[in-house]
Structure 1
Amino acid sequence: MTVGIIVSRADSASVRIGEQLRERADWERAGTGADGASEEAANAEAAEGEETNTESAASADDVPAPVARYVREGFELLAFEPWHLELDGVAAAFDDPDVVVFASRHAGETGPLLTAHFTGNFGAAEHGGSDRALAPACPNAHRAVVRALAEHAPEGYDVGMECTHHGPTEVGAPSMFVELGSSEAEWGDDAGAAAVADAILDLEGVAPETERTVAAFGGGHYVPRPTRIVEETDWAVGHVAAEWCLDDLGDPREHRDVVERVFAASGATRAVVDGEKPRLRDVIDDLGYGVVSETWLRETTGVALDVVAALEGELTGVDEGLRFGDPAREAGADGAEPATDALIVDHPDDLWADAHSVDPDAALAAAREHALAYTTEENGNRVAGDIAFPDADAYDAYVDALVGLLREKYDEVGRDDGTVRITDTAFDPAAAAERGVPEGPKFGRLADGAAVEVDGETVTPADVARERTETYGLSNPSEGKGN
């Protein structure tokens, strides 16, 4: 696994990041065919250059020769004179990199910001690369670098992601920009540059791609939904077409090839879409890719995809209320495939509702702890319907957990193979009325366990209590729906 790093001497922030990279790790200077000026001199030269990294890309077929080369285990750092955007095909200058990182400036009205994004053009190539072309993304490495930027960011810096924009579009390897922004003050800030350098160095051994990748469509340039997905789930995000990118694209039905390229260049089989966008959704469906919700990505985090597919097929979809329990996530972690042998049973809805009245959080926790997956209502707050377990023992443990909650409420709770029976002695309004107790405060005191006086006679709670028995039926695990 080799990370190729590009420093542009036309970019003062890039030069500063390069200096921090070399200070923070041991590198060996390698021959480049050109000695090149010192990085300190390049800093001074870059200060006189352009203030944006969106210059038009050069159209030369050959990759410019690097002016400096440094190597260490797992990394190769090359410095070039041209802007990053002019470096189409630059992977050929490295020794077979797995991923290429452009250490770059970010320019904008965003304050101190560390950011990362992929490159490409959904319409005309106004800032490097080719029209309607996308460079191969590295979603897993990108997720790692965004999280590392958050870890290393100095006080006062925000961390975020951007949509896919500008060139180059023909890098020759999976690639991304990792940027220091957003003005000259930050471009010369050693602390900000060090944070970017540390995040890049943290990519050691990180694979560029992952099967848990989605493409994203819609939203603003700084992509809040994809950022949440990367920061808060185990899903990575490939190319992102923000609203303005989709405007550049035009009617997706006329540019199906570009939409398909988004998935191919991202290594994604699913997409998240902000807003309705029926034409885009139809094209995505026609191409054979699925559109999923942010909720789906959150709920499937940690669950093997074959387990997700099997349990959604057996029960219902996540967007219809399916939730996964800890056993499903544990199975995903060790590579097991329990869903094909899942025990599917009718959920004891009434029993659960009674336990929920004792402790709502504990009742939900019982399902999460013991079930592979369970159907829910009320935005996931109530368990109802079918439920899947790894085996009959897990089902028994679940019922026992609910029974334990009921014992906090009732005088006696018993369980046999097919039922849970509760016995309770409680205030009986009818019996109180027979003893002449008027409805109102005295009813309340008796219900709370206090005696009251009625016409000179003492009425105790025991006088107006009645024993109540209720039975909840249970599914027979040997007759589970999944067997």
Structure 2
Amino acid sequence: MLGIVVSHADRASEHVGDHLRELVEWEPLDAPDHPDAAGPAYATDGARLRGFDAWHLHLADAADAFPVEPDLLVFASRHSGETGPLLTAHHTGNFGPAEHGGEDDALARACPHAHSHVLDALATHAPADYDVGMECTHHGPTDVGVPSMFVEVGSGEPQWDDPAAAEAVARAILDLRGVAPDVDPEPVGRDASPDGDTVRRHLVGFGGGHYAPRFERIVRETDWAVGHLAADWGLEAMGDPAANRTLVDAAFEESAATHAVVDGDHPDLRDEIGALGYRVVGETWLRAVTGVPLALVDRLEGTLGPVADGLRFGESATAAAPDAAFETIPLPGDLLDRAQGIDQERTRELVVASALAFETEENGNRVAGRVAVASRGDYTTVIDGIVDLLRTAYDSVERREDAVIAREETFDPEKAKTLGVPEGPKFGRLSAGEPVEVDGRTIPPDRVRSEREDRFSL
């Protein structure tokens, strides 16, 4: 069930609340006493709404004000800043002193999956002149009781009073009915045991600015969700990561996350994250593993090497089971090099279409080394495709059990010289398949051609 908080101290929040009540039918219902609550709670299908007299930044245990504990709590709020018309969402807490509500060095429970969902909903409903974005973790409350976030209208009085903006935020909040706070867990570990560890595709973000375009890009372009974000100024407020190990750990715990992206160097922070047992990853890794079972990723990285060293995944990996069997086979180096010399993009497509994973070089741009395949048949399909690619560049290609034999007829300069053809434009014409005249004689192109054979071992 979705819980919605409206603060009567915030006119933008009240404005959103008015539109919430207009968009769907609500029924009043009894609610428990709460020191900051005002009036009854209201119920509609999948949601409960309650007003509060206090600023929501300073509320404590807001979930206790609802008749039934919500699965997810959303604070309808205003956003203040110099950012122009903006609809935004963020989690709450303090990486350092609590200057705007909540407790020092404390974080509320984030809702990464719902946060990703509401960003999409805001983009769907936003008026044409409004941007949509996400912010770092930067104010209270810290004691909420359930996963929560703020969804806001910004960034000044004209927008706080704008009915179109208020309606957009109200619609986005209502779209959260039935949406889980967290991404579903999945098994991970090289044994992929059903009884083994599980993780969620949640990230903690460290570094960067208050507004977080890098992390917003991750949310929009991968299947990973983002929990707490400590911007550069938040890291400065927190101080030495080793001295604040408990707070670093809380960022992961309150985000239900085991992975982090660090924007910038921050070597001490990276070391502390690793010491706590969490993993720092980059955007390349997130994009590479999107759609691929993490248990399979773990096993393939353990066999072929990490994504950071060039491992990439094929199309079949997204449909494979976490415990899918595979074998690794070296690709024939000379054959692969020749194919990529003919058409590098097509060669990669052939490998991607049939392999679970494959090694690369040159920053992931060039296929090299081994492939992991679910069966020998998939490996054969890759080789067959490469052989067909060679046929576009050779006159004939023969596949044998131990080798591929490719033949082509090419212009032979020595034969041309023997027939008295001078080097220069006539060489070019013969090479292009045109006859030439030499001392009153016609030299046809087939007189100056030789067959070249390339052999590629399998």
TM-score, normalised to structure 1, is: 0.88
Are 2:304 and 1:315 aligned? yes
Alignment correspondent of 1:200: 173
Are 2:243 and 1:254 aligned? yes
Give the 3-state SS of the residue equivalent to 2:389 in structure 1. helix
Give the 3-state SS of the residue equivalent to 1:252 in structure 2. coil
Are 2:54 and 1:82 aligned? yes
C-alpha distance in 2, partners of 1:158/1:87? Answer: 28
Q: In the alignment, is the contact (CA less than 8 A) between 2:37 and 2:50 conserved in 1?
A: no
Alignment correspondent of 1:38: none
Q: In the alignment, is the contact (CA less than 8 A) between 2:27 and 2:43 conserved in 1?
A: yes
Give the 3-state SS of the residue equivalent to 1:71 in structure 2. strand
Deviation at 1:33, TM superposition (A): 7.9
Are 2:120 and 1:147 aligned? yes
C-alpha distance in 2, partners of 1:116/1:417? Answer: 60
Give the 3-state SS of the residue equivalent to 1:472 in structure 2. strand
Q: 2:408 aligns with which of 419, 424, 447?
A: 424
After TM superposition, list the pairs within 5 Å mapping 1:76-155 onto structure 2.
Answer: 76-94=48-66, 95-155=68-128
Q: 1:168 aligns with which of 123, 133, 141?
A: 141
- Aligned pair count reads 441
Give the 3-state SS of the residue equivalent to 1:67 in structure 2. strand
Residues 60-109 of structure 1 deviation map (CA, whole Å, 9 limit, x = unaligned) = xx642332422122211111111111211101112111111111111100
Q: What letter corresponds to residue 290 of structure 2 in structure 1? A: T
Alignment correspondent of 1:388: 372
Change (3 A) 1:426 1:63: farther
Alignment correspondent of 1:54: none
Are 2:19 and 1:20 aligned? yes
> Tell me, which stretches of 5 or more residues in structure 1 are unaligned?
35-61, 475-483
Deviation at 1:221, TM superposition (A): 0.3
Q: What letter corresponds to residue 66 of structure 1 in structure 2? A: A
Moved more, 153-162 or 199-208: 199-208
C-alpha distance in 2, partners of 1:347/1:30? Answer: 68
Q: In the alignment, is the contact (CA less than 8 A) between 2:37 and 2:51 conserved in 1?
A: no
Q: What letter corresponds to residue 321 of structure 1 in structure 2? A: G
Q: In the alignment, is the contact (CA less than 8 A) between 1:349 and 1:383 conserved in 2?
A: no
C-alpha distance in 2, partners of 1:33/1:259? Answer: 35
C-alpha distance in 1, partners of 2:32/2:456? Answer: 82
TM-score, normalised to structure 2, is: 0.93
Alignment correspondent of 1:53: none
Deviation at 1:132, TM superposition (A): 0.2
Are 2:390 and 1:406 aligned? yes
Deviation at 1:32, TM superposition (A): 4.7
Give the 3-state SS of the residue equivalent to 1:468 in structure 2. strand
Percent sequence identity is: 54
Q: In the alignment, is the contact (CA less than 8 A) between 1:67 and 1:81 conserved in 2?
A: no
Change (3 A) 1:433 1:173: same
Deviation at 1:439, TM superposition (A): 2.8
C-alpha distance in 2, partners of 1:469/1:25? Answer: 76
Q: In the alignment, is the contact (CA less than 8 A) between 2:295 and 2:322 conserved in 1?
A: no
Alignment correspondent of 1:188: 161
After TM superposition, list the pairs within 5 Å mapping 1:303-382 onto structure 2.
Answer: 303-331=292-320, 335-338=321-324, 341-382=325-366
> Tell me, which stretches of 5 or more residues in structure 2 are unaligned?
184-199
Are 2:204 and 1:215 aligned? yes
